[in-house]
Amino acid sequence: MFTEPLPSTLDVRKAAARGVTVTGAIKPCDLHRFRELLVSDKGGIVADLLLSKDEENRCLVQIKVEADIEVCCQRCLSPMPVHLSTDNTLAVVWTDEQASHLPRHLDALLAEDEACNLWELVEDELILDLPPYSYHDTDACKKILEAFSPQPAVEVAEEEKPNPFNVLEQLKPGKKH
């Protein structure tokens, strides 16, 4: 496992001119918006960013993220591990006007100044890639649900039957109604 932390910011213009690759790890608890979608701090995230310039002199960032995280199963509400794997190429722009002139196949990465926040970039990629609802395999889920309710539906059905002792009670001599 790669353990060196991903730098939080990078001068993308310089890095793209040099064709730099930046790789590093982030913890789920470091990404607050993303962490809110998870059930625990377990797991890890590794990001790989390749910076380059295209023929139009645009700064490109190819970003790949691999994440092992834990979310809530929407069927049994227990934690379940999820692996995310993203691969996307963004063009760095500094104004909305630059963004509007990008070709359709390039998504804009709006940089506020020279230093681009890499953690936010990774966080956005992860939030986009995270499925809105996650479920265990049906069998795994059933086992968890059974563990939570050891006496399933059968007992409920029995309670609905008339209790034979109530009838005996009514037949007892001396009992008036």
CA geometry: angle at 50 spanning 46 and 56, to 5°?
A: 150
Q: With binding defined as CB under 5 A, does residue 79 bind Zn ion?
A: no
DSSP 90-139: EEEESSHHHHHTS-TT-EEEE-SSSEEEHHHHHHHHHHHHS-SSB---HH
Pairwise CA distance, residues 91 & 58, whole Å: 7
Nearer to Zn ion, 76 or 111 (CB): 76
Binding mask 25-64 for Zn ion (x = CB under 5 A): ----------------------------------------
Piece in contact with Zn ion (CB under 5 A), picked from 54-62, 69-77, 116-124, 155-163:
69-77
Pairwise CA distance, residues 64 & 46, whole Å: 8
Helix (H) or strand (E) holding 166: helix 164-171
List the helix and strand counts (H, then E) for the chain. Answer: 7, 7
Do residues 61 and 49 make contact, with C-beta atoms less than 8 angstroms apart?
Answer: yes
104-163 residues near Zn ion, rule: CB under 5 A? 136, 141
Piece in contact with Zn ion (CB under 5 A), picked from 6-14, 27-35, 68-76, 82-90:
68-76
Nearer to Zn ion, 9 or 74 (CB): 74
Q: Which of 59, 76, 90, 109 touches Zn ion (CB under 5 A)?
A: 76
Q: Which of 17, 58, 75, 79 touches Zn ion (CB under 5 A)?
A: 75
Find the shortest distance in angstroms from Cβ 82 to Zn ion: 12
Kindly list the residues in this chain that would bind Zn ion in the complex (CB under 5 A): 73, 75-76, 136, 141
